[in-house]
Structure 1
Amino acid sequence: MRTMKTYKTLLATLALSAGLVLNAQTNEMVIQAKKPGAEIQPTMYGLFFEDINYAADGGLYAELVKNRSFEFPQNLMGWNTFGNVTLRNDGPFKRNPHYVRLSDAGHAHKRTGIENEGFFGIGVKKGEEYRFSVWARLPQEGKNSKIRVELVKPNNNGERHAFAMQEITIDSKEWHKYQVTLKAGKTEAKAILRIFLASQATVDLEHVSLFPADTWKGRENGFRKDLAQALADIHPGVFRFPGGCIVEGTDLDSRYNWKNTVGEVENRPLNENRWHYTFPHRFYPDYYQSYGLGFYEFFLLSEDIGAEPLPVLSCGLACQFQNNDVSAHVPVSELSGYIQDALDLIEFANGDVASTWGKLRADMGHPAPFNLKFIAIGNEQWGTEYPEHLEPFVKAIRKAYPMVKIIGSSGPNSEGEQFNYLWPEMKRLKVDLVDEHFYRPESWFLSQGARYDNYDRKGPKVFAGEYACHGVGKKWNHFHAALLEAAFMTGMERNADVVQMATYAPLFAHVEGWQWRPDMIWFDNLNSVRTTSYYVQQLYGQNKGSNVLPLTMNKIPVSGAEGQNGLFASAVWEKEDNTYIVKVVNASDKVQSVSLKFEGLKKQDFLTKGTCVKLRSLDLNKDNTYIVKVVNTSDKVQSVSLKFEGLKKQDFLTKGTCVKLRSLDLNKDNTIKQPSTIIPKESSVVIEGNVLNAEVEAYTFVVYRLKK
């Protein structure tokens, strides 16, 4: 008996929208299994982080104390004081000089202390441990002093406010870091951190901090675990940071300066976050950047989640949406400092430990290089001033680091005058990739299935750096928008020889502190929820394949064109584990019958039974699998036929399993209170003669996995 060659399971993902009337026509899609085409870059699907919507402080960065170093312009914002408290500015950290002095209240029954409100409260969970730390000293020689640290909930009916408490003895006139662990006696989303002076001797307090003990990877200056895990579960290939518009700044003084974000965390200076005032109708006057989450932490996170780091630096142009006068920007003749910042960043990431910035990286705990391969200069810049500013960066980086790829920008729009001007300029400057942004309505996403089919194959590659479907009259997360994003992504994937990176935006949003929506992941102080847009990104990220395969219907690429019944599709091959992956989207208002025909497979190969991978699974089985993704964004049920040709005669497909992600309401999505509104449902399927015929209900995303 001949040994059968193993093929991987079939994973078919179908997202289908509304309607109850069946369409008798079968849409036969032919996949050329023996003709692997363009290589799909490992960076194809990734993540973009910007500190908007309290994504950093109050979000991914796990610090629970707001304004911990008393450096906000209103120095005690976020704090309440009582008793004898004074603010001073000759502290131990040069770039964060402010601290508070706690002195005796003058009477045995009076109290001195401070309390912090956190970010929309301080969220703690019962039984969990929290690491409190503070830099402190005795300003007057002599006696020791004590402080009492409490987690409290004032508006409760219990005998005591405090549900966690520890005392710390301050025993030196020199500044030292003191630390204790608080164990929460209850779960509370809006606790307060309260610190009493617990003896008569005066104490000085600086850099008051509270972290969960259980951070991502257990790091002391670490990340909130559930949010970081959500990023890792995407399996991203690239991680773009720190923005976005914050790279530019409302003015150059408020731009994101990477050099201020490295070194000891206590001495990283505060920066104004432009998103606290950009939208007056969503105004947050206490939104600043502590820089506790800085470039070193971004590089570590990239390494942790297996993504290539992609830092974005200022090109010397302040935000052009907010500045019409040329005086707001750095003249080209004065860009040397900004260019040196870019060169120094590459040295920080990749340099030998004997180099200035490589040594700092090593001193921070990472002597091995981060192997930075990409750098972006500028964000959403436009006009003649952008290529004029970009050109000297390109020349300097090419000369010093010729192996580092440079990313330029096509401006803030997906088409139009500035887009048409900047693309030729990026070609002239010979950047490696061009960053395109599109926050567009449903009609745009439905019309762009063939966007990249006719792009110049010899010019710079495309980085779809920021995109999301913004529903007309419903600019928030909902299932239909996610389905249209999935449809658009088939066109990016089909043109993987042109599109080499893609990142949805924005990434995070606090439910009480957002400025922009929709967003991929929402959270409050205790919980987080992954939206359907997240699951779309995860499905692509976990099933990107290694090479594009030709997929046609009537010998034409399936891009939602006229006569294609609202269908979008792409196919790839994963050479590492011999996997075929097909993604199909039905954006029409009718049910569609779909037949997937694989040509070029060997006659002796057949598919048999298999297993199912849920959209939120952390592990994809590593056996031989065919992976097919079909998304129907229409409003009608669709009949589906999956036909596999070219398998060996002795190999057969038999049974498998199916997982459906379905919503009867296109406007719904998962929420903090109802995180499982739209979740996968599993069932079994049967296949005969290497053909799977199926009908997929409206508003459904299906995953089939079949094994020979």
Structure 2
Amino acid sequence: MKRPLFFGALLFSALLGTQPTISQTLNMQVDVKKVGSPIQSTMYGIFFEDINYGADGGLYAEMIKNRSFEFPQSLLGWTSFGKVEVRDDKPAFTNNPHFVRLHEAGHSDKQTGLDNEGFFGVAVKQNATYRFSVWARLPEAGAGSIRVELIDGASNVLVKENLTFDSKEWKKYQVILKAPKTEAKARLRIFLTSKAAVDLDHVSLFPVDTWKGRENGLRKDLAQALYDLHPGVFRFPGGCIVEGTDLETRYQWKNTVGQVENRKLNENRWQYTFTHRFFPDYFQTYGMGFFELFQLSEDIGAEPLPVLSCGLACQFQNKDEKAHASVKELDPYIQDALDLIEFANGDVTTKWGKLRADMGHPAPFNLKVMAVGNEQWGTLYPERLEPFIKAIRAKYPTFKIIGSAGPSPDGKDFEFGWKEMKRLKTDLVDEHYYKDPKWFLTNATRYDAYDRKGPKVFAGEYACHVQSVKNNFESALCEAAFMTGFERNADLVQMCTYAPLFAHVDGYQWRPDLIWFDNLRSVRSVNYYVQQLYGMNKGTNVLPLTINNQPVTGKDGLYATAAWDKTAKAYIIKVANTSDKEQSVSITLAGLKKGVAFAKSTCTKLHSPDLDMENTLDNPYAVVPVETPVTLEGNVLNVKLESKTFAVYRLQN
């Protein structure tokens, strides 16, 4: 497909000026003797927020919508038939008091029961097994029973099993269902099969094969995609949901831990934002809460980075200062922050450390850093952040705190935010930018002249937005070029995370996103592979890389950086060619000792002649990295770099 002029290939030529001919050779020098700033293990990471059905209906593998009947419309997501009533007397769970009572229909040819639509359907795969569980009791004398079915879109029964209840007290029951075929839009159906009434609560269906095989687990393919990024840091749970549309609906971590069935339902802040793609049934069950997010951080080898409310509701949605907690009202918010550190790191004899241990993780999660506030700005923010900093540092002197520079990468609010973060001596400042290709290419030098005396930088949310708002190759290539500036300035930039992470193709509200999925499949965007290449090849220290003694920051369409990996004994050179011509490049490892041999040298390229190309569910491998061997001539690597290419050269000793 031809791209519009402004966002197409001609943009690159216009930005970068006259292009060299193929016969010209550009000579890059990598000074291997000048081992520079350390590259933090946290440099390239992941940001998770429950937007686009990223949690319920996404990474969290629960397949039943409104499983505890706690949505404001108690049967939203359910179709009831026969005699069904919603009750809240003598509930199983105090935070989720509603349950359903199924009564005999009153006629031999009538039925009582429920069926659930799931999240855009209940998708099952042929020969896969699914764990159905329910909390039930008998409100009256007698024997109670139900039949559980998975049905296809035409109401044909795929599989069915019976459950019998034997107690007047609430008790958990379960049965395994094996799908005979793949069905994308199945439903769960429950029939009452006894004359006796039964009470049901927390009706749940999970694939048996979850990430790490956990019963309250995560969708395996999506969690695997996170693991394969090799992330150094994992930021969660947001984003704007930390703030909430109002303070009542802000994300409160204490509501997300403890017994899964008793975690209190919360509105999702993204439920209200996009009326053109409006999802009034978008809630947070918190089945995947802070414990599970800490656990996932550990699983994927990333340091956890929680974000907590500073007492400000979303400032975009609340202009009245009365919508926010005053400074005098911050004590419970500050206590939440202190208690979270105890939950993550505390001894099992402490209140919150004991809860962590009771949930199955006696060892600490080794939390080192926390962000207080998300995209806050103006005077309201630093006056609320300051008491957090004082309280946290008084109790945990070495703990790191991240502050915000606001929602924009420049302007008065951004400058004021940085000034205040320096005054408060935060350890890092969170910067966000969603910009077009031109901005990303021209800002590859953004951090070259930053003040080195103040806080470090965390690029907490960023993505290149092309006019078509797609995850196409153009956006990925611009991000790859821009990220060379992160690595070149590793003394200052210590963390970065693309955003958002997930999007359901039937339930997205924001795009582009790193990983797309439906109920059966997932696809890793071209942008994903850029993040993965950086994550797998970050190195341990920066090396100077120049052409004519100047950093390679866009001249002739090239952007480059180099690193030394002292653990793997490898030199790593990343080069983005954003021009519309092939480039002949000579890379010299200046200062290399004579006789040094390279046991394995490779080039991994991400390339497409079509800037608009993207990976989709139906064509997931349209643009993927391709690895080939390369050979040095002494200390020189001569390469031909195709136009519109991101390449990573890994020269292993």
Normalised by the length of structure 1, the TM-score is 0.88
- Look up the match of 2:582: 591
Quote the residue 1:55 is aligned against.
54
- 1:606–1:690 Cα contact (<8 Å) kept: no
**Cα distance, 1:18 vs structure 2:** 9.1
Structure 1 residue 676 displacement after superposition = 1.4
Query: Aligned-pair distance for 1:468?
Result: 0.3
Aligned to 1:73: 72
1:659 shift after superposition: 4.9
CA separation of 1:607/1:368 partners in 2, compared to 1, >3 Å: closer, same or farther?
Answer: closer
1:484 counterpart letter in structure 2 = C
Q: 1:436 to 1:108 in 2, by over 3 A?
A: same
* 1:552 aligns with one of 540, 546, 559: 546
Distance in 2 (alpha carbons) for counterparts of 1:314 and 1:703: 39
Which residue pairs with 1:337 in the alignment? 332
Residue in structure 2 matched with residue 139 of structure 1 by the alignment: 139
- 1:165 CA drift (Å): 1.1
What secondary structure does 2:39 align onto?
A: coil
Among 327, 332, 350, the alignment partner of 2:322 is: 327
The 2-side partners of 1:682 and 1:568 are apart by: 20
Matches of 1:528 and 1:371 in 2, distance apart?
Answer: 31
- The SS at the match of 1:435 is strand
Deviations 1:479-507 (A, max 9, x none): 01000000010001000000000000000
- Say which of 594, 604, 619 aligns to 1:603: 594
Q: Distance in 1 between matches of 2:652 and 2:381?
A: 53
Task: Determine the structure 2 residue equivalent to 1:565.
Answer: 556
**2:16 alignment partner in structure 1:** none
Alignment-mate amino acid for residue 452 of structure 2: R
Q: In 2, distance between residues paired with 1:683 and 1:96?
A: 56
Q: Which residue of 1 aligns with 2:214?
A: 219
Q: Name the residue aligned to 2:493.
A: 499
Q: Distance in 2 between matches of 1:526 and 1:126?
A: 11
Matches within 5 A, 1:206-285: 206-285=201-280
Counterpart-to-counterpart distance in 1, 2:588 and 2:392: 48
The aligned residue for residue 582 of structure 1 is 573
1:144 counterpart letter in structure 2: A
Q: 1:314 to 1:229 in 2, by over 3 A?
A: same
1:568 partner amino acid: Y
Whole-Å separation in 1 of the counterparts to 2:413 and 2:437: 23
Q: Which residue of 1 aligns with 2:3?
A: none
Structure 1 residue 592, shift from structure 2 partner = 2.2
For 2:420, the equivalent position in structure 1 comes to 425
Distance 1:368 1:285, change over 3 A: same
Give the letter for the 2:512 counterpart: P
Match of 2:35 in 1: 36
1:307-322 correspondence to structure 2 within 5 Å? 307-322=302-317
Contact 2:429 2:457 (C-alpha < 8 Å) held by counterparts: yes
* 1:515 maps onto 2:514 in alignment: no
TM-score, scaled relative to structure 2 = 0.95
Aligned to 2:613: 668
- Local SS of the residue matching 1:565: helix
Show the counterpart of 2:295. 300
Letter in structure 2 aligned against 1:113: G
| Secondary structure in structure 2 of the residue aligned to 1:454 | coil
Residues 479 and 668 in structure 1, CA contact (< 8 A), matched pair in contact too: yes
What SS does the aligned partner of 1:342 have?
A: helix
Which residue of structure 1 lines up, in the alignment, with residue 6 of structure 2? none
The corresponding residue for 2:5 is none
Pair 1:474-2:475 in alignment: no
Paired with 1:273 and 1:705, the residues of 2 have a C-alpha distance of 44
Q: CA deviation at 1:700?
A: 3.6
Residue 123, structure 1, aligned to residue 117, structure 2: no
2:515 aligned partner, one-letter code: I
Any gaps of 5 or more consecutive residues in structure 1? 1-14, 613-657
- Structure 2 residue 396 is the aligned partner of structure 1 residue 396: no
Unaligned runs of at least 5 residues, structure 2: 1-8, 14-18
**CA distance in 2 between partners of 1:123 and 1:494 (Å):** 45
Task: Give the match's secondary structure for 1:393.
Answer: helix
SS in 2 for 1:95: coil
User: Contact 1:96/1:268 (CA < 8 Å) preserved in 2?
Assistant: yes
Q: Secondary structure at the match of 2:556?
A: coil
Cα offsets for 1:258-303 (capped at 9, x unmatched): 0000000000010000112201111111110000010000000000
Q: Is the 8 A contact 2:20 2:556 kept in 1?
A: no
Q: Classify 1:558/1:18 alpha carbon distance in 2 versus 1 (closer, same or farther; 3 Å).
A: closer
C-alpha contact 1:380 1:410 (8 A) present in aligned 2:
yes
Counterpart residue number, 1:525: 519
* Counterpart position of 2:149: 150
Distance in 1 of aligned mates of 2:525 and 2:313: 33
Report the equivalent of 1:538. Answer: 532
Structure 2: distance between partners of 1:707 and 1:97? 60
What letter is aligned with 2:209? D
Paired letter, 1:116: N
Please state whether the residue corresponding to 2:495 is helix, strand or coil.
strand
Q: For 1:253 and 1:326, locate their aligned partners in 2 and report how far apart those are by CA, in whole Å.
A: 15
Q: CA deviation at 1:589?
A: 3.1
Aligned to 1:234, the other structure's residue is in SS state: coil
User: Residue in 2 aligned with 1:455?
Assistant: 450
Residue 441 of structure 2 is aligned with which of 441, 446, 449? 446
CA contact (8 A) 2:114 2:190 kept: yes
Pairwise CA distance, 1:689 = 4.2
Could you say which residue in structure 1 is the equivalent of 2:639?
A: 694
Q: Is the 8 A contact 1:18 1:698 kept in 2?
A: no
Alignment check: 8 A CA contact 1:659 1:683 kept: yes
SS of corresponding position for 1:493: helix
Q: CA deviation at 1:21?
A: 8.5
**Paired letter, 2:573:** V
How many percent of aligned residue pairs carry the same amino acid? Answer: 67
Q: Deviations over 1:153-211 (max 9, x none)?
A: 1427xxxx111111000111110000110001111111100000011110000000000
Q: CA deviation at 1:685?
A: 5.0
Query: Pairwise mapping of residues 601-640 of structure 1 onto structure 2 (< 5 A)?
Result: 601-607=592-598, 610=600, 612=602
> Is the partner of 2:353 in helix, strand or coil?
helix
One-letter amino acid of the counterpart of residue 509, structure 1: A
Q: What number of residue pairs does the alignment pair up?
A: 639
2:193 aligned residue: 198
What is the alpha-carbon root mean square deviation over aligned residues?
Answer: 1.8
Shift in Å, 1:704: 5.1
Distance in 2 between the 1:147 and 1:268 partners? 26
TM superposition shift of 1:693: 2.7
Give CA deviations for 1:586-644 in whole Å, capped at 9, x if unaligned.
Answer: 22333322111111111121336x365xxxxxxxxxxxxxxxxxxxxxxxxxxxxxxxx
Distance in 1 between residues matched to 2:630 and 2:232, nearest whole Å: 32
Cα 1:154–1:477, aligned 2, differ >3 Å: closer, same or farther?
closer
SS at match of 2:228: helix
Contact 2:589 2:636 in 1 (8 A): no
1:98 aligned residue = 98
Please say which of residues 20-29 and 183-192 is displaced more in the overlay: 20-29
Native 8 Å contact 1:133 1:210 kept in 2: yes
Residue 661 of structure 1: CA displacement?
3.4
Structure with larger RCO (C-alpha < 8 A, sep 6+) = 1
Tell me how far apart the structure 1 counterparts of residues 215 and 351 of structure 2 sit (CA, whole Å). Answer: 25
The alpha carbon displacement at 1:679 in A equals 2.8
2-structure distance, mates of 1:452, 1:383? 23
Following TM superposition, by how much is the alpha carbon of 1:691 offset from its aligned partner in structure 2, in angstroms?
A: 3.4
Letter aligned with residue 209 of structure 1? S
User: Does the Cα contact within 8 Å between 1:686 and 1:692 map onto a contact in 2?
Assistant: yes
Q: CA deviation at 1:24?
A: 2.7
CA drift at 1:250: 0.5
1:706 shift after superposition? 5.7
Closer, same or farther in 2 for the Cα pair 1:552/1:696, shift >3 Å? Answer: closer
Query: How far 1:408 moved relative to its partner?
Result: 0.2
What amino acid is the match of 1:490? Answer: T
State the match for 2:431 in structure 1.
436
